[in-house]
Structures are given as structure tokens and as C-alpha cells.
Chain A
């Protein structure tokens, strides 16, 4: 779960960073090309991820949960 989480947030942040870098106009063509490719790759993965329609719901079985002392 953690990996998947960080990947989505990270990928989005990385795409944002690449866009911002391009927007500054400070990047040169040679350095820009691999970043451009990476940006497109990220966009592709993000689009695929965002195409997911369902959410998974797991109900916690409360009878298996330890009741903490502080609550009594």
C-alpha cells in the first residue's frame, strides 16, 4: 500500500517538477530530451492509474480488535 501510495504522489510531483523545469526555459535541449521522455512516461502511467474506477473496501472485523484499556 505504502509503495503504491508514494508512487502516485511521487509520480505526480515528479511530473510537476519536470513541467516547472521546462517552464523556466533554463533547460537545454540535450538535458531536456530525457526529461521530456520521462514526463511522457509519467503522464502515461498516471493516466492509466486514474482510469481505475473502483475502490476496494475492507471491513474491519471489530471482534478481532483489541479493546484498549484507556477506553473503559
Chain B
């Protein structure tokens, strides 16, 4: 104290000196209502927050303060920061690292504003959302340790499907540490760990204040940028958070998240059974069809064989007919021959001689048919059936 009293400070030294003292104060949170706010050159944020009795100025660097654009006059906020003196003017302010809405009214306004902003940016568009894998096998679970959300999710998941690998990243789901731990978890699953098939962000129900981390723009950004698809199961049925809206799939509760991401094993088993039946039936049909084709072919062959058989029979019949006809013809010919032979035998002169006729020839061997052919004393030879008589014509008598 004695030293201080003796020392005469230059203004700049004084400001610097005070700041050395102020540096001893670690980050603190100050709650107040924004009574005035403006942004200079798009870079610096100047605001005043107040309560019933006092006010304090707040300074911040715009690019470091996420969600600064949702802040407005009249909004109750929590300013995370440290007290500083501005070197040049000695102006005292609370140098803010983060300014977040506080209290139901402010949170509601902040929620609506952020929702509108992200909606315009297309973050909620359905076309942007990625389909979930049909059979996820590795799941990154981000929720609070020993929470109802955790146990509900794990229980329902187990009821539906087994053999899954769950990587559980415990986080704070409310309070000052909620946003940073959730962001770290997303970073971990997307960059430091083997990427799971999908990420589930879960939390039980709560007031708007309790769910604040899930309405934070940074968390929305992490979900939006996640390489693995994200399913959010936050709060009760009626709670809708920004995280829900940005997520690739919104589940109404943590249990519902489990229902959405894995198919019920029974249902899959039934489908497998159906498919097995289906291919069995179809194969049976194929066998029947193949049999029919075979039968048709056999039929065609049989028909052909039958035709050949019939042709053979026809040939055989024709042959027999021919043989029969030839036989008959031959018999007929034989009979005719016999008749002719008989006739011929009847005409045989020898046979005629047997019946008492004879043939007489003159000396020249000419058969005598008329008396005019001979003269008296001429030698003639008469042939009888059993020999010849040579005689001399004695007398010729005319009839």
C-alpha cells in the first residue's frame, strides 16, 4: 500500500496496472438484460446490460461470439467473459467470450430467430438430409452418463436388434459445459474415432432453458457438418429443438431414436423367411416348368416314334398285300397254265392218234389231206399211235 501511494502512474501505466489486477479474475458469468446493442464495422460488438440497480458495458469480437445476431434489446442474457479496461480510454467493460440468451422469454425469442435463420439457410431442407443406413452396426451415442435417455435408448435398441457396437460418448446435456462437450463428441466421432454408421444425440425432456444446448447454433453447425448421419432424440414428444430440425432424422424421444435407427429383428427374420419361401416356391415352379418342357419334348419324340411305327406298319401291310396279291396272281397264272396245258395236250396229234386217228404222208413227207394228193401205186406212210405202216395206194375212191 505504501508503495502504491508513493508511485505516480502515467495514465497508460495505470490502465495497464489495473488490467494486471483484472487478469487475476477468471472468466465469470454475468446475467443482465440488454438495454442497448450495436455492431461496429461488422467486427466489434458493443452492448450494455443492466439489472434493476446497475448497468455495465459489454465488448466482444463478433466472429468469436456465435449467435450474436440473435441478440436484441430487452433480452435477458448470460455474458461469459472477463472484466477489462480499454487501454486507450480507460473505459471499463465486460469482455465477452460468449453471450447466450437466458430466461424463458429470451430463449424463446432466440429460438425463433435461430430457427428462421437456419431455415432460410436451407439447413432444415428435406433434400439435404441423408438417408440412414438400413442396417447400422456401429452407433455413436452422445448423451449424459447415467441418464434416462441413455438407459431408454440402450434398452429399446436391445429389444429390437443385437450384435451392435455402441460407442458411448458421455456429455453434459445442460449447463455451461453442455455445448463444448457435445461439440467435442461430434468432433471425436467425425475426426478422431473410426466413423460410426450413424450418430445419435439424445436427451430427456426439460424446459427451454434445460434444452438450451440443443438450440445452440454451434451444436446445429456440428450436426449439419457431421459426416455420419445424425439422429436426434431430444426431450418429450412435444419438444422440438433446433438440433432436431437440423438432424437427418428427428426422433420424438431417445426410445424413439432406437426404434428409428434399427429394424426389429423379428421383422427382419420374417422378411428373410418370406424371401426363403419365395425362392423355394419359385424354384419349385421352375422345376415344374422344366418337367413340362421335358414332357412336351418326350411327347414330341413319342409322337415321332409312333409315326415311324405307323409308317412301318403301313409298309408291312403293303408288303403283305403285295405278297398276297402276287400269290393270288401266281396261283391264277398256274391255273391258267394248267388249263392251257390241258388244252394243249388235247391238241397233241399223238393224243389224237390214240383215239384212232392216223396221219398219212406221201413220199415227200407231205401230210395227205385230200385224195388228190396221191396217185395209184404211190408209196405212202401212215403213222398210227404206236407205229408206222408203209403202204401202196391201190385204188382211189371219191366220196
Contact = CB atoms under 8 A, between A and B. Distances in A.
Interface of B: 133-138, 145, 154, 157-158, 161-170, 179-181, 183-185, 187-188, 191-194, 197, 218, 265, 268-269, 272-273, 275-276, 278-280, 282-283, 285-287, 289-290
A70 B164 CA distance: 32
Interface string A28-55: 1100110110011001001101111111
A2 B68 CA distance: 41
A9 B192 contact: no
A9 B162 contact: no
Given A1-B138, A62-B181, A71-B183, A56 B275 contact: no
B138 A5 contact: yes
Contacts, number: 132
Contacts of A12: 134-135, 268, 272
B286 A8 contact: no
B180 A1 contact: no
B188 A65 contact: yes
B167 A58 contact: yes
Main secondary structure on chain B at its contact with chain A?
Answer: helix
Contacts of B278: 19, 22-23
Nearest to B269: A50
Contact of A59 (B161, B168, B187, B276): B168
Contact of B275 (A27, A32, A39): A39
Given A19-B278, A54-B158, A55-B158, A62 B169 contact: yes
Nearest to A24: B282
B157 A55 contact: yes
A67 B184 contact: yes
B194 A1 contact: yes
Given A55-B161, A60-B193, A65-B184, 10 more contacts: A5-B197, A8-B135, A18-B275, A28-B286, A39-B276, A56-B165, A57-B154, A62-B169, A67-B184, A71-B218
Contacts of A1: 137-138, 165, 194
15 contacts: A4-B137, A5-B197, A25-B285, A36-B283, A50-B265, A50-B269, A54-B158, A55-B161, A56-B166, A58-B165, A60-B167, A60-B169, A60-B170, A70-B183, A71-B218
A25 B170 CA distance: 53
A36 B163 CA distance: 27
A71 B187 contact: yes
A19 B279 contact: yes
Contact of A54 (B134, B162, B168, B290): B162
